[in-house]
Amino acid sequence: MNQVYTAYGLHLSSDVPIPGLVASRAFADVDVEVWLYTEPSWLVELADAVPEIFYISPSESEQGTPTLTVWRFKGSEYFRLVYCDGTEFIVDGLGKKIRATWPDPLTLEDTTTYLLGPVLGFVLRLRGVTALHASAVAIGKQAIAFLGPAGAGKSTIAARFARLEFPVLCDDVVPLIEQNGKFLAQPGYPRLNLWPESVSALYGSADALPVMTPNWSKRYAALNGNGHRFQSEPLPLAAIYILGERGIEPACPIVEAVPPPVALMALVSNTYLNYVLDEAMRAREFDLLGRLVGRVPVRIVRPQADLAYRKRLCEVIVEDFHTLTSPADTVQAARQS
């Protein structure tokens, strides 16, 4: 019997348990079917299909191989994603089917790091869902997102909030659904993935958390114990904080408003996997992000370079967030934080 899960607002089924996900109750409609160990019958549709290059990542491995190469099969609506370590995914053009394979000595856990990040991000984009390259936490019944490119500290700041017992909504990928004039941030899955240096700074030792996979040094914090909480239901996005450069000035951390035109450009450049978008999809996304900056305040935060201020950073953001909400919302958020 297939395993069933919910992640990023999608109902998933899989032929084997997926590390990092918590099984859900059975549901009538499955959005995405995942094959990890068995070969699905629909692969025969690709027997005569001709692949053509769709995307080549600018980043490369130490051997000079592109980190990711994506092919699109001419004559069929399928994509082939190949990572530099040999891990491959076949994804249908509607974002409903995924087949994964990987070479030895890689493991299911290695493949899951791709599946639960960029591959499901790819699926979201194919399904027309805009996702921010961000992490998000809950303050009361609202969500705030931390935006920035790789290495900006999105996961680290989410972990800081988790240590203060704020529920974490998602890590690295924040899918947005526009509904009744609000933008709902969809929950990811109950893990936070962190580099060893962040684990050491937050938990006292790089070995304080388990590794994601035996073949990688990155570690994870489970969000279902040890004081950590996972926000499993969607929440309205109430503010976006762009992570700026760290400063050494005594005034840091500093939070400042971002003018809407500047905020729009920041969001456009920090949507998740935007290389998937064609011209029409980019136009629709631009319109959506325009509405987003018109309804949700965007701020820039300059953290203090001194890690001794990491708790103060969270306090400054929460204080700033409370100034953006109505008095009633502020009281309620404070009671539930």
Element (H, E) at 287: helix 279-295
Q: Is the pLDDT of residue 207 over 90?
A: yes
Confidence of residue 111 (pLDDT cuts 50, 70, 90): very high
Contact (Cβ atoms closer than 8 angstroms) between residue 131 and residue 175 = yes
DSSP string across 105-130: T--HHHHHHHIIIIIHHHHHHHTT-E
Q: Which pTM was predicted?
A: 0.91
Contact (Cβ atoms closer than 8 angstroms) between residue 135 and residue 145 = yes
The SS3 call for residue 62 is: coil
- pLDDT mean across residues, the chain: 90
Q: Does domain 130-336 have CATH number 3.40.50?
A: yes
Q: Is the pLDDT of residue 26 over 90?
A: no
Q: What is residue 307's predicted lDDT score, i.e. its pLDDT?
A: 64
Distance (Å, whole) CA 193 – CA 214: 14
Q: What digits encode the pLDDT tens for the residues 72-110? A: 997 778 999 999 999 999 999 999 999 999 999 999 999
Confidence of residue 336 (pLDDT cuts 50, 70, 90): very low
Contact (Cβ atoms closer than 8 angstroms) between residue 22 and residue 190 = yes
In the chain, where are the structural domains located? Answer: 3-126, 130-336
Q: What is residue 326's predicted lDDT score, i.e. its pLDDT?
A: 57
Confidence of residue 12 (pLDDT cuts 50, 70, 90): very high
Cα→Cα distances 239→162, 272, 284, 327, Å: 18, 18, 22, 16
Confidence of residue 24 (pLDDT cuts 50, 70, 90): confident
Report, as an integer, the average pLDDT of 169-189.
96
Q: pLDDT exceeding 90 applies to what percent of the chain?
A: 75
Summarize the chain as % helix, strand, coil (round to 5).
30, 35, 35
